[in-house]
Structure formats: structure tokens, C-alpha cells
């Protein structure tokens, strides 16, 4: 093996992580690199990770290196290359005697968690480390963590690949095309019901979506709401949030960051805005991204946006600005 990579996974005893972790060491996600895993959980359930480690050992993954588990995030962070921040407090549970229902409560509670994690990552993670926030509200959790890390060499991302994959699936069924023929499915804005799945710039067997999907009624009344509300639909159907598909989306994001993008292609994730597409600087916003040959991740800047798209994106940007205001007390 040519080199090694250390990956930290939080929420490691949860359903998403159970599907995610084996794929990190299967030889595909990081190629021929040896993968060292640092699995993190809260003190109440950290001992459950002993069984997961046993399963990993029994699976005999040739690319698996050292595997450790702990409830000490700072210790786990030391010299890590990748952080998959899956763990967060979800809506609907009772926390400190109060049932968490409102997004404002979710922002406040998780904000404190991501301040602490951000500080640890900035101080102890490797320079150039990549951080993918999966736990919701993902964009603003990433915004808080990046602010706390104060390490500009590190790349903070919030996951929008799950929304992108959901949109690809819907378009695949609509056009009767194989899902592998659906590319450049950009998710703009927030990972929330305000996100904008860019049906105009998606490529369908190499052709722009705007030239194939011209049914305005279907786009506005079916496609966009279906993507925006798919997470809720999954919860309603199975009684729990997405796990297998969320894990697959996290792996897709890691692989997109590990392997150079093909010419004119892009992938979807939310990163800190530098003002591109008139998104206010500093917001963690969904963009079209490219992985360059030097390993850097860049915003693809040649996407044409219609007035319809701009209006939809503005709704999501306004929500992100509102969330930023709600967590301003956590900025240091």
C-alpha cells in the first residue's frame, strides 16, 4: 500500500455509521491506502463500539489499519486526515427534559457540540484535513465548526450528496435513463426543505436538463417538492431517518474528493462561499464542486442560472442567513 489515511467518524454506534464504516475500508473509497479508523461516541454508548470493532476484524478488510474507539473527540482528532461528523442531536428526542421540535432548538443544542469539535479539529487535525458534516442542521453545523476551528487550510463541507442522489433517482425514472447517465446534479443552498435541485443544469446522457425536462408543472409541483421532502417521506415510511442512503452519499462525497473530477463534471456539497454566484461570503452553501489534480476542491464557476433558479436559491440563502443570525452567540 502506497500510504495511509486516518478517518474519524462520530456517531459511530448509529445506523448511518454502521452502513458507512465498512465501506471506508473496502479498498474502493480510498483506493490502495491503508485506512486507520478512530470511532467516536458519547460516553453512554461508547462501549457498544466494541462489537462493531469485532465485526470489522471478522470481516478481514485488507485495507483496514488500526481501529480505535473512544468518547474523547480531542484524542481521536490527533493527526486525522478526514472527519465524518455523523453524530448530532436529532429532532424529536428529549434533551435535558425538553422534547426537541423546533429548528432553533436544534441549532442551539448542536451548535455547542460543533464548537467543541471544531476547536479540536482545528488544533489537532492535520492541516489540509477534510471535514464532512452529515449531522443536521448540516450547513450551519459546518459553519459553526469552521468558525471554531480557525484553520483555513482545512476544508469544511456539509453533505448535500444525499439530496443530489435522490434527485438523480427521480430524474432517472422520469426519463427512463439509467441513473449512471444522470450527472452534475447540483444542490444549491441549504440541506433543508428550501434547497434547490438544479434541474436545468443536470446532464442527462450528456444533454442539459433544460433541453429535456421542459414540463414546468412537473418541475415545480412534483420534482422540486419531492426532493425537498424526501427525508420526511422516508421517516414517515420506515419510522426512522435515512441510514443506508445517507451512508452511501457520504461515501460518494469522500470519493469525489479523493479522485480528480473528469473534464466539465462536478459534484454536489456545501462549502464556505467566497462570493461565487453572489452567495454571501462565509456561508456554508451548496455549490457545484470539482476536485482538481492537485487535490484541492474548487467551486465550478461557469454554471448559467435562470431567473427561476436564482429566485429559488435566494430563498435558501435567506434561510442560511437566518440560521447564521440564530447562532451568532456561538461565534468566537
For residue 250, give the CATH number of its domain.
Answer: 3.90.110.10
**In-domain check, residue 89:** yes
Give yes or no: 124 in active site: no
Cα distances (Å, whole numbers) of residue 51 to 48, 58, 134: 6, 10, 23
With a cut of 70, list the residues of the chain below it in pLDDT.
1-2, 91-92, 101
**In-domain check, residue 214:** yes
| Same domain assignment for residues 190 and 76 | no
**Helix or strand or coil: residue 316?**
helix
What single-letter DSSP state applies at residue 276? Answer: G
Domain tally, the chain: 2
For residue 127, the enclosing domain spans: 4-158
| Same domain assignment for residues 57 and 165 | no
| Same domain assignment for residues 45 and 190 | no
pLDDT for 52: 97
**In-domain check, residue 331:** no
pLDDT for 95: 73
| Same domain assignment for residues 166 and 154 | no
What single-letter DSSP state applies at residue 91? Answer: T
Task: Tell me the chain's radius of gyration from C-alpha atoms.
Answer: 19
Q: Which of 114, 135, 158 is the last residue of a domain?
A: 158
**In-domain check, residue 332:** no
**In-domain check, residue 221:** yes
| Same domain assignment for residues 194 and 234 | yes
Per-residue exposure over 118-148, b if at least 16 CB sit within 10 Å of its own CB, e if not: bbbbbebbbeebbbbbbbbbbbbbbbbbbbb
| Same domain assignment for residues 112 and 259 | no
Which residue of the set 124, 191, 293, 329 is catalytic? Answer: 191
pLDDT for 173: 97
**In-domain check, residue 242:** yes
Decide: 282 and 321 in contact? Cβ < 8 Å. no
| Same domain assignment for residues 206 and 96 | no
What single-letter DSSP state applies at residue 126? Answer: P
| Same domain assignment for residues 249 and 200 | yes
pLDDT for 92: 66
Q: Which of 158, 192, 224 is the last residue of a domain?
A: 158
pLDDT for 101: 67
Give CA–CA dist 80/126, Å, rounded.
Answer: 6
Residue-wise pLDDT for 162-208, tens only, equals 999 999 999 999 999 999 999 999 999 999 999 999 999 999 999 99
Give CA–CA dist 300/327, Å, rounded.
Answer: 29
| Same domain assignment for residues 195 and 311 | yes
pLDDT for 88: 87
What single-letter DSSP state applies at residue 130? Answer: E
| Same domain assignment for residues 46 and 133 | yes
Task: Report which of 74, 56, 58 is spatially closest to residue 66, judged by C-alpha positions.
Answer: 56
**In-domain check, residue 256:** yes
Q: Which of 140, 158, 176 is the last residue of a domain?
A: 158
Q: In this structure, what C-alpha cell is assigned to residue 294? A: 492537485
| Same domain assignment for residues 217 and 172 | yes
**In-domain check, residue 118:** yes
| Same domain assignment for residues 134 and 208 | no
Give CA–CA dist 178/50, Å, rounded.
Answer: 40
For residue 95, say if its preceding peptide bond is cis, omega within 30 degrees of 0.
no
Amino acid at each position: 500500500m502506497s500510504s495511509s489515511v486516518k478517518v474519524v467518524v462520530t456517531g459511530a454506534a448509529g445506523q448511518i455509521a454502521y452502513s458507512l464504516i465498512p465501506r471506508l475500508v473496502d479498498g474502493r473509497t480510498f483506493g490502495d491506502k491503508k485506512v486507520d479508523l478512530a470511532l467516536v461516541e458519547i460516553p453512554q454508548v461508547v462501549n457498544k463500539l466494541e462489537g462493531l470493532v469485532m465485526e470489522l476484524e471478522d470481516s478481514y478488510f485488507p485495507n483496514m489499519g488500526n481501529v480505535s474507539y473512544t468518547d474523547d473527540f480531542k484524542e481521536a482528532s490527533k493527526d486525522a486526515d478526514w472527519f465524518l461528523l455523523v453524530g448530532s442531536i436529532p429532532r424529536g428526542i428529549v434533551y435535558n427534559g425538553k422534547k426537541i421540535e423546533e429548528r432553533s432548538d436544534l441549532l442551539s443544542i448542536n451548535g455547542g457540540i460543533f464548537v467543541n469539535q471544531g476547536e479540536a479539529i482545528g488544533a489537532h487535525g492535520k492541516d489540509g484535513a477534510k471535514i464532512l458534516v452529515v449531522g443536521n442542521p448540516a450547513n450551519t453545523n459546518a459553519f459553526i465548526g469552521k468558525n471554531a476551528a480557525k484553520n483555513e487550510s482545512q476544508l469544511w463541507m456539509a453533505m448535500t450528496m444525499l439530496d443530489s442522489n435522490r434527485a438523480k433517482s427521480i430524474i432517472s425514472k422520469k426519463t427512463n435513463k439509467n441513473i449512471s447517465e444522470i450527472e452534475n446534479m447540483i444542490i444549491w443552498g441549504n440541506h433543508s426543505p428550501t434547497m434547490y435541485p438544479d434541474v436545468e443544469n443536470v446532464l442527462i446522457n450528456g444533454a442539459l436538463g433544460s433541453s429535456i425536462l421542459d414540463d414546468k408543472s412537473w418541475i415545480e409541483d412534483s420534482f422540486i417538492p419531492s426532493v425537498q421532502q424526501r427525508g420526511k417521506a422516508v421517516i414517515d415510511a420506515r419510522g426512522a431517518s435515512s441510514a443506508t442512503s445517507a451512508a452511501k452519499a457520504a461515501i460518494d462525497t469522500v470519493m469525489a474528493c479523493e479522485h480528480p473530477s473528469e473534464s466539465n463534471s462536478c459534484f454536489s456539497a456545501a462549502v464556505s462561499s467566497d462570493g461565487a454566484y453572489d452567495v454571501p461570503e462565509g456561508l456554508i452553501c451548496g455549490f457545484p464542486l470539482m476536485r482538481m489534480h492537485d487535490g484541492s476542491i474548487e467551486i465550478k464557476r461557469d454554471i448559467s442560472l435562470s431567473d427561476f433558479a436564482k429566485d429559488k436559491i435566494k430563498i435558501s440563502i435567506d434561510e442560511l442567513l437566518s440560521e447564521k443570525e440564530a447562532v451568532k452567540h456561538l461565534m468566537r
